[in-house]
Amino acid sequence: MAAQPRRIRSVAVLGAGTMGAQIAAHFANAGVAALLLDVTPEIAREGLARAVAARPDPFFVSAGRALVRTGGLDTDLDAIASADWIIEAVVERLEVKQALFDKVETRRAPTAIVSSNTSGIPIAAIVDGRSPAFAAHALGTHFFNPPRYLHLLEVIPTPATDPSVVETVCRFADHRLGKGVVIAKDTPNFIANHLGLYGLMQIFRAWSSGGYSIEEIDAMTGPAIGRPKSATFRTMDLAGIDVLAHVVRNLAERLPNPADRAVFALPPVVQSLIDRGWVGTKAGQGFYKKDEGGEILTLDPASMTYRPKQPARLAALEAARSIDDVGARIKRLFLASDTVGAFLRETLGSTLIYTSRVAPEIAHSPLDVDRAMRWGFGWELGPFETCRAIGVEEVVRACGSDLATGWHVAPPEATGDSSAVASAKADIQILRAAKDRTAIVKRNAGASLVDIGDGVLAVEFHSKMNAIGGDTIQMLQAGVKEATANFRALVVGNDAVNFSAGANLMLLLLEAQEENWDEVDLMVRAFQSATMALRYADVPVAIAPAGLVLGGGCEIVLHGDRVQAAAESYIGLVEVGVGLIPAGGGTKEMLSRAMESSLDRNLLASSQRVFETIGFARVSTSAPDAIRHGYLRAADGVTMNRDRLMADAKNLALARADDYVRPQPRTAIPVGGESVLAALKLGVHLALRAGRISDHDALIGTRLARIIAGGDRGAAGTATEQELLDLEREAFLSLCGQAKTRERMQHMLKTGKPLRN
């Protein structure tokens, strides 16, 4: 009878380097206690300290650090006996890992899972010689760096691994750690690193010809083809050129085919950079370097010196910039008859050919290959998706080589899907599934109403960056009306990277420049009406934010009955950055929440807290952090796996549907009156005198203070929601009339950054 692994309540991570310490941190994010061990307790503490200081932060909130305790492998290894999961994350040397597993085997609990975080050493080699009981509980779990932020987890069982162990790890990683799990075959460097490194070698080969500059290659291998902005050379600097070289050499040594091994030979310039210690960002220089004045310099490989960074001027890239669909854009560039097309056919084309040949050896399905590259390397389209977007015949014709497997033309389901995600597809991206069933109830340019089943209606935003305009507001109102009439609950959310970057700033700026104040007033009133309709709907409304949730997006979140937030949600009222204040009920709602949660009813302290949160445009660094800022409540939910967010929000709404009673309007929100207004204005004045804020910042602060104090009332008292909404609207209109506010709007639209004028 197969052993049944225990529930995972604690983990031991062996090795406190960058990966080990950050893996422990992410278990803490999931609420799991972690024991972090290294050679000595001091080294383990230093490793944790580096993780704490790392940016981006591997912890959701600082309190999570308390869940990680440290120790030494010699002094504290016996403590792993209480761990449900033991993860080895030591140096990438087979003999070191095997020696550590010798010690682990005598100390682990009989049901404890043991995994290696190796990035490429075959798992069967690491567990070779272990007992059958150990081997049954052993597998590979390859996290990608940084573990909190990169979605992919490659799970690598051996033939001896108990299937129940694989299921336990996959389910926990999916639901609790928020990972996109792909089960890989036990081959060198598994799926993502193998294919990613092959593609990199093709780029190196093209670069070595001297026909392309570093800047041109980064321009051709970044967002233009659906890849991260760091593209190729910047990514190598961030990852560490020495680390990259080590992984490439490991792969080359272990590949069975001599011809394949030859492909993974690094160019001499890489070794030259390593010899000089120019290994990337951690050393201050690599392929790029920032000089003392902050200017970005680029490596000249011929002289091994740095020169000023030069813009890449490639006509095909400029021509394709207007193509929004990434597949259509890649096809256009791939088939272009210029430098860009030649480069992509030489590099991307050969990578697609190679992938088609080796994929059956390293993966269980084309879907797993595509997921591995999307989740691990941030590609918008995986290799097989890219091949289908360009056209199989076009790829074959352009590259002069046939594709080695029929996977590229078969739909993903035709060849199976080994990933853990496949075992629970009903919980994955339910919004997309509903639209595939043509369950769209109503639609306009900004949003749609979608029947997501079980009596739940969803409002899905789909404008650019999900900016909130008149179409969106209209559909929010329609959603409340339709849900009230024909559904049990309403969910507001989408499958996009970002829930909403805020209001349609361009539309607002145009109206303000034309001094169409009646139009601006109507826009604000309509948005306030929509957010209040969400709050006082006759059915429960669950908001499902993820990614950027800014300005008006945050105000929608604040007005839901409940919120189910993706763990990676960056929520904030940031209107002051464009010279405004929140006017969709955000200021009112933050003040009301602060007063409700104030145990001693300290009007000044609560008012000050709201003033600073809005005035400093504070944005949460995660969903748990949003609770600290007041954007989320303790009763709201957090989803670790973004793909499950809408399903979780739907379940949250349904759980409240049967006995739901809408809240009563708040008619007595405490406000501080003249004394609070004076205190807040004094703070603004002192900041202005100290040079910390500008005159326009001071004006915005004064307008905000007046709302929080309840207007011009003399004494402390109470205000209704409508009174606070009216104050918001009045302040918003007044600030729209300021030239400096319009300058801030223009600057934000042009640069994406706030202007301090």
* Residue reference for tokens 């006509």: 315
270 Cβ contact partners less than 8 Å away, ≥ 6 residues apart: 204, 241, 244, 245
Instruction: Give the pLDDT confidence score for residue 429 in this predicted structure.
Output: 78
User: Average pLDDT for residues 71-75, to the nearest whole number?
Assistant: 96
Q: List pLDDT tens digits, range 610-667.
A: 999 999 999 999 999 999 999 999 999 999 999 999 999 999 999 999 999 999 999 9
Instruction: Give the pLDDT confidence score for residue 410 in this predicted structure.
Output: 57
- This prediction has a pTM of 0.93
Half-sphere exposure of 397 (CA within 13 A, CB side): 7
What's phi and psi for 30, nearest 5 deg?
A: -85, 5
Instruction: Give the pLDDT confidence score for residue 459 in this predicted structure.
Output: 98
Instruction: Give the pLDDT confidence score for residue 661 in this predicted structure.
Output: 95
515 Cβ contact partners less than 8 Å away, ≥ 6 residues apart: 737
DSSP per position, 327-379: HHHHHHHHT-SSHHHHHHHHHHHHHHHHHHHHHHHH-S-HHHHHHHHHHHH--
Residue 688 has pLDDT above 50, yes or no: yes
What residue spans of 152-226 are helical by DSSP H? 163-175, 192-208, 214-220
For residues 225 and 218, give the distance between their C-alpha atoms in angstroms, rounded to a whole number: 11
CB of 246 closer than 8 Å to CB of 230: no
**Residue whose C-alpha is closest to residue 639's, from 623, 625, 615:** 623
For residues 151 and 144, give the distance between their C-alpha atoms in angstroms, rounded to a whole number: 8
Instruction: Give the pLDDT confidence score for residue 600 in this predicted structure.
Output: 57
**Residue whose C-alpha is closest to residue 93's, from 113, 73, 120, 72:** 120
For residues 39 and 41, give the distance between their C-alpha atoms in angstroms, rounded to a whole number: 7
Determine the residue type at 286: G
The dihedral through the CA atoms of 559, 560, 561, 567 has a sign that is negative
Q: List pLDDT tens digits, range 214-224.
A: 999 999 999 99
CB of 121 closer than 8 Å to CB of 57: no
Q: List pLDDT tens digits, range 317-331.
A: 999 999 999 999 999
User: Average pLDDT for residues 261-276, to the nearest whole number?
Assistant: 93
Share of the chain above pLDDT 90, in %: 89
User: Average pLDDT for residues 742-747, to the nearest whole number?
Assistant: 97
The dihedral through the CA atoms of 7, 8, 12, 17 has a sign that is positive
CB of 733 closer than 8 Å to CB of 524: yes
Determine the residue type at 503: A
Q: List pLDDT tens digits, range 561-608.
A: 999 999 999 999 999 999 999 999 999 999 999 998 875 568 999 999
CB of 125 closer than 8 Å to CB of 97: no
CB of 652 closer than 8 Å to CB of 562: yes
* Kind of pairing between the strands at 569-572 and 547-550: parallel
Residue 669 has pLDDT above 70, yes or no: yes
Instruction: Give the pLDDT confidence score for residue 1 in this predicted structure.
Output: 41
Long-range contacts of 684-692 (CB under 8 A, 24+ apart): none
In the chain, domain spans: 10-183, 192-415, 428-574+619-655, 586-614+664-757
Residue 239 has which token pair?
């990852």
* Residue reference for tokens 């169409």: 516
Alpha-carbon separation of residue 249 from 133, 231, 265 (angstroms): 33, 22, 8
**Residue whose C-alpha is closest to residue 560's, from 490, 609, 513, 511:** 490
Instruction: Give the pLDDT confidence score for residue 2 in this predicted structure.
Output: 46
For residues 186 and 362, give the distance between their C-alpha atoms in angstroms, rounded to a whole number: 7
Residue 112 has pLDDT above 60, yes or no: yes
**Residue whose C-alpha is closest to residue 330's, from 371, 381, 392:** 381
Instruction: Give the pLDDT confidence score for residue 409 in this predicted structure.
Output: 59
Q: List pLDDT tens digits, range 38-51.
A: 999 999 999 999 99
Task: Write out the H or E segment, with its range, that includes residue 296.
Answer: strand 296-300
**Residue whose C-alpha is closest to residue 427's, from 651, 96, 619:** 651
Determine the Cα angle at 341 with ends 340 and 343, to 5°: 65
For residues 555 and 551, give the distance between their C-alpha atoms in angstroms, rounded to a whole number: 6
- Inter-helix orientation angle 739-751/721-736, to 10°: 80
Instruction: Give the pLDDT confidence score for residue 5 in this predicted structure.
Output: 46
Ramachandran region, residue 719 (left: φ > 0; alpha: ψ -120 to 50; beta: rest): beta
- Residue 419 banded pLDDT, cuts 50, 70, 90: low
**Residue whose C-alpha is closest to residue 8's, from 196, 238, 173, 206:** 173
Residue 510 has which token pair?
């145009």
CB of 383 closer than 8 Å to CB of 199: no
Residue 143 has which token pair?
């996290």
For residues 743 and 73, give the distance between their C-alpha atoms in angstroms, rounded to a whole number: 59
Determine the residue type at 708: I
Core vs surface per residue 384-415: b (16+ CB within 10 A) or e = bbbbbbbebeebbebbebebebebbeeebeeb
Instruction: Give the pLDDT confidence score for residue 143 in this predicted structure.
Output: 97
Architecture of domain 192-415: Orthogonal Bundle (1.10)
Strand partners, 532: none
DSSP per position, 634-699: TTSEEESSGGGHHHHHHHHHHHTTTT--PPPP---EEE-HHHHHHHHHHHHHHHHHTTSS-HHHHH
Q: List pLDDT tens digits, range 472-482.
A: 999 999 999 99
User: Average pLDDT for residues 412-426, to the nearest whole number?
Assistant: 53
364 Cβ contact partners less than 8 Å away, ≥ 6 residues apart: 183, 185, 416, 417, 418
Residue 529 has which token pair?
């009406």
Instruction: Give the pLDDT confidence score for residue 597 in this predicted structure.
Output: 82
DSSP per position, 59-116: SSSGGGGGGEEEEEHHHHGGGGGG-SEEEE---S-HHHHHHHHHHHHTTS-TT-EEEE
Residue 344 has pLDDT above 50, yes or no: yes
Residue 420 has pLDDT above 70, yes or no: no
For residues 189 and 92, give the distance between their C-alpha atoms in angstroms, rounded to a whole number: 12
* Chain mean pLDDT for the chain: 94
The dihedral through the CA atoms of 102, 104, 109, 113 has a sign that is negative
| Start-to-end CA span in the chain (Å) | 72
Architecture of domain 428-574+619-655: Alpha-Beta Complex (3.90)
For residues 277 and 167, give the distance between their C-alpha atoms in angstroms, rounded to a whole number: 43
Fold of 10-183: Rossmann fold (3.40.50)
